[in-house]
């Protein structure tokens, strides 16, 4: 089954404790993205990647890092999380030429 998986689905952590949210897709897609969803703001793009070792900032990259060492994986790293990063995070992927983005199930992160 074609899918995007994210882990963990729920995470509660404390300020400053480094964390990684994993994202993996099994569709051999070139493009992958991370979004955060906040009430009234919709989804905002954090980072995206157009291929292995090629990443770029989205609209809200501050406080986040990403890496794309393998085509299928695109982890999101918060090296020093803060409460304003409490949000619902989605990973997405799509292939070439442009088509629909496939979204993961989301990761709800709470930073205390």
Partner 1 sequence: AQSVTQPDIHITVSEGASLELRCNYSYGATPYLFWYVQSPGQGLQLLLKYFSGDTLVQGIKGFEAEFKRSQSSFNLRKPSVHWSDAAEYFCAVGPPGGQNFVFGPGTRLSVLP
**Residues that bind partner 1 in the complex, under the rule CB under 8 A:** 31, 33, 35, 40-45, 48-50, 56, 58-59, 90, 92, 97-101, 103-106
Using alpha carbons, list the distances in angstroms from residue 73 to 5, 6, 83, 109. 10, 10, 26, 20
Q: Is 104 helix (H, G, I), strand (E, B) or coil?
A: coil
In the structure encoding, which two tokens stand for residue 94, read together?
């799509």
User: Least Å distance between CB 79 and partner 1?
Assistant: 24
User: Least Å distance between CB 11 and partner 1?
Assistant: 16
Q: What is the C-alpha to C-alpha distance for residues 62 and 94, in angstroms, rounded to an integer?
A: 24
User: Least Å distance between CB 99 and partner 1?
Assistant: 8
Nearer to partner 1 by C-beta: 79 or 96?
A: 96
Using alpha carbons, list the distances in angstroms from residue 25 to 2, 29, 88, 89. 8, 7, 19, 16
Nearer to partner 1 by C-beta: 13 or 30?
A: 30
Nearer to partner 1 by C-beta: 56 or 70?
A: 56
């Amino acid at each position: 089954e074609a899918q995007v998986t994210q882990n963990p689905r729920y995470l509660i952590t404390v300020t400053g404790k480094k964390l990684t949210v994993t994202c993996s897709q099994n569709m051999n897609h070139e493009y992958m993205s991370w979004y955060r969803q906040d009430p009234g703001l919709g989804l905002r793009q954090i980072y995206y990647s157009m291929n292995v070792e090629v990443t770029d900032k989205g609209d809200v990259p501050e406080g986040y890092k990403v890496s794309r060492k393998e085509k299928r994986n695109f982890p999101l790293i918060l090296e020093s999380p803060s409460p304003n990063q409490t949000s619902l995070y989605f990973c997405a992927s799509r292939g070439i030429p442009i088509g629909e983005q496939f979204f993961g199930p989301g990761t709800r992160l709470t930073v205390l």
